[in-house]
Chains A and B, each alone.
Chain A
Amino acid sequence: MAVPRYWREIPARYNLIGKRCKVCGRVYFPPRNICPVCRRKSVGQMEDYKLKGTGVVESYTIIHVPPPHFEGEEPYIMALIKLDEGPYVTGQIVECDEKDVHIGMRVRATFRKIMEDGEKGAIYYGYKFVKEEE
């Protein structure tokens, strides 16, 4: 894979920079170019918006058959997470026993290595989630 494909998503994947529609105030993550509520009024009105990275598990699965770049990491937890600002995001939950993960569990984003492009290729980083201490 060409590096620019990953490089251009760095703000969102490293720092959870999403978009906020200046017209209606709704927050989007992953970033969107157009607000589906305001549509044409939102063109040019989508500003960068940093999300806190905290949220709650809405659903989860434990992956036992992984895709090529994740071989050897299975089993691992993947979750559908509702961020506190409203958007939902898909991400891995780490440092959590598969028996402990549950719907309603509070999590927060953390910066991690996601995968590498073979032995000599680029290493890709991004967010994963950990259980939020009460």
Chain B
Amino acid sequence: MREVAVIGIGMTKFGELWDKSFRDLVAEAGVKAIMDAGIEGKDIDAMYIGGMSSGGFVEQEHVAPLAIEVAGLEDFHIPATRVEGACASGGLAMRQGYIAVASGIHDIVLVGGAEKMTDVVGTEATNVLASAADREWEAFFGMTFPGLYALMARYHMHKYGTTQEQLASVAVKNHYNGSMNPNAQFNRKISIEDVLASPMVADPLYLLDCSPITDGAAAAILAPLDIAKKYTDKIVKILASTQASDTISLHNRKRFDALPAAIHAARQAYKMAGVEPKDIDVAEVHDCFTIAEIMAIEDLGFFEKGKGGKATEEGLTAIDGQIPINTSGGLKAKGHPVGATGVAQINEIVMQLRGEAGKRQVKDAEIGLTHNVGGSGGTAVVHILGVI
């Protein structure tokens, strides 16, 4: 297997981007990554694009050739593949790109992720997102996506004494981080009181416990480490790329206080990278809901199971804390265009490792981790990146 590097990144601003179409977003993120890497379009050997439901959101499937077309790359006839794993689609695209380069099949690979979520109205977005859950045995009966995480939140609170304020402290931290990220959907700081005064979505999750509906795209350029220097000096190495699965339905899982797929993917990633949780300097985790970040920092081994809420409340996951989590603002504040999220997480970690994260820079960050989850935990993808 060859060693693989990220040689370029790019993303759009995240938010409710009414003036931008799915195509505009894909083109913008892709071009930014290509320019950042110092490559030309003709250097690209393959493309993988993550997207959860372009069909549901903009009535457009077959988006890989569409991405090739908007990027003006059709004359090269390179293979282009869309990858789907609900909210983990972007992470899966990244992993497919990694596998393609590591195996020697392709040299330069463009990885992308995109979702245009605000072109539907009313509760339709809720309905499309519910298709990441089990349509026949969860959604059919009236279950929603926030509802599934609310079940896990209530369970975690009951079992470990996690509090409503501890959940809220995740959102408060991530909004604080997001206030320093120009690409974030929300640059507004919030308080615990703001979270607890926001409308209830699925008890015990308030609106401000939930990540928003977002438009956005992100991209990254991958290359074999040994030829990466030909293009750029800003090289970040991929130390691990792992993925695990579990049942699509929550009710068929072996436990409800963790995402077993995330635990599996994390264990394999630490082994592959030859590092331990304590070696990670910064992590982007899948905080689609505040409870999801609490479970994530436990599942990743940063904190003991059941202690994630307390750790967050005590500031241990702040930028200057023991393990800075979601410096970008996370899904909560940066926004969550579902298919783009996994690649946007890579963008943030690469920025941190290059020392380009500005006001939210983690001092001397050398090893970073991303944790991207699909559905209520049916898919989990973990990447560990390091400076060279």
Residues of A bordering B, CB below 8 Å: 9, 30, 58-71, 73, 75-76, 78-80, 87-92, 98, 103, 114-115, 124, 126, 128
Contact B250 A90 (CB under 8 A): yes
> Does the CB pair A90–B154 fall under 8 Å?
no
> A79 vs B122: C-alpha distance in the bound complex, in angstroms?
25
Cβ distance A126 to chain B, nearest Cβ, rounded Å: 7
Assuming the A-B contacts A58-B256, A65-B126, A65-B144, are A90 and B158 also in contact, with contact meaning beta carbons closer than 8 angstroms in the complex? no
Docked complex: B136-158 residues within 8 A CB-CB of A: 136-144, 146-147, 150-155, 158
Contact of B151 among A60, A67, A124 (CB under 8 A): A60
Q: Which of B188-217 contact A (CB under 8 A)?
A: 199-205
Q: Quick one: which of B127, B144, B154 contacts A59, CB cutoff 8 A?
A: B154
Please pick, from B142, B158, B201, B250, the residue contacting A67 in the complex, using a CB distance under 8 A. Answer: B142
Assuming A90-B251, A124-B140, what are 17 further A-B pairs, CB within 8 angstroms?
A63-B142, A63-B147, A64-B201, A65-B146, A66-B144, A67-B126, A67-B144, A70-B142, A75-B203, A78-B143, A78-B151, A80-B250, A89-B137, A89-B251, A90-B143, A90-B250, A114-B141
Query: Which of B130, B137, B200 lies at the interface centre, i.e. has the most chain A CB atoms within 10 A of its CB?
Result: B137
Query: In the complex the two chains form, what is the Cα distance from A110 to B140 in whole Å?
Result: 16
With A61-B150, A61-B151 known as contacts, the answer to whether A67 contacts B252 (CB < 8 A) is no
Q: A68-B122, A126-B141 are in contact. Are A59 and B136 (CB under 8 A)?
A: no
B104-140 interface with A by 8 A CB criterion: 122-124, 126-127, 130, 134, 136-140
B174 CB, nearest partner CB in chain A, Å? 21
Chain B residues, CB < 8 A from A71? 123
Query: Which residues from 240 to 254 on chain B have a C-beta closer than 8 Å to any C-beta of chain A?
Result: 249-252
- What is the minimal beta-carbon distance from A23 to any residue of chain B, in angstroms? 19
Please give, as numbers and ranges, the residues of chain A lying within 8 Å of B140 by CB-CB distance. 114, 124, 126
Q: Interface residues of B toward A: which range?
A: 35 or more
Which residue of chain A is the closest to B155 with respect to CB atoms? A59
20 contacts between A and B (CB under 8 A): A58-B256, A59-B152, A60-B151, A60-B154, A61-B153, A61-B203, A62-B203, A64-B203, A65-B126, A65-B202, A67-B126, A67-B144, A68-B123, A68-B124, A75-B203, A78-B142, A90-B134, A90-B143, A103-B154, A114-B142
Would you give the shortest CB distance from B342 to chain A, in whole angstroms? Answer: 25
Bound CA–CA A106/B151 (angstroms): 17
Residue in A9, A58, A76, A80 with the greatest tally of chain B CB atoms within 10 Å: A80
Q: Are A67 and B150 in contact (CB under 8 A)?
A: no
Please, how many angstroms separate the alpha-carbon atoms of A59 and B253 in the complex? Answer: 14
List the B side residues contacting A88 at CB < 8 Å: 251-252
Most chain A CB neighbours (cut-off 10 Å) among B138, B141, B200, B249? B141
How long is the Cα–Cα vector from A61 to B141 in the complex, in angstroms? 13
- CB-defined contacts of A124 to chain B, threshold 8 Å: 140
Inter-chain contact B249/A90, CB cutoff 8 Å: yes
Which residues of B have CB within 8 Å of A66?
Answer: 123, 126, 142, 144
The residue from B136, B143, B152, B202 contacting A62, defined by CB atoms under 8 A apart:
B202
Which residues of the other chain, A, contact B199 by a CB distance below 8 angstroms?
A: 64
Instruction: Given A9-B136, A80-B151, A114-B142, check contact A63 B202 (CB 8 Å).
Output: yes
- Taking the closest CB of chain B, its distance from the CB of A33, in whole angstroms, is 13
**B203 contacts A67, C-beta separation under 8 Å:** no
Closest Cβ neighbor of A102 among chain B residues: B158
Residues of chain B contacted by A62 (CB below 8 angstroms)? 200, 202-203
The residues of A that contact B130 with a CB separation of less than 8 Å are 67
A103 near B158 with CB under 8 A, answer: yes
Name the residue on B nearest A88 (C-beta).
Answer: B251
Nearest Cβ in chain A — how far from B258, in angstroms?
14
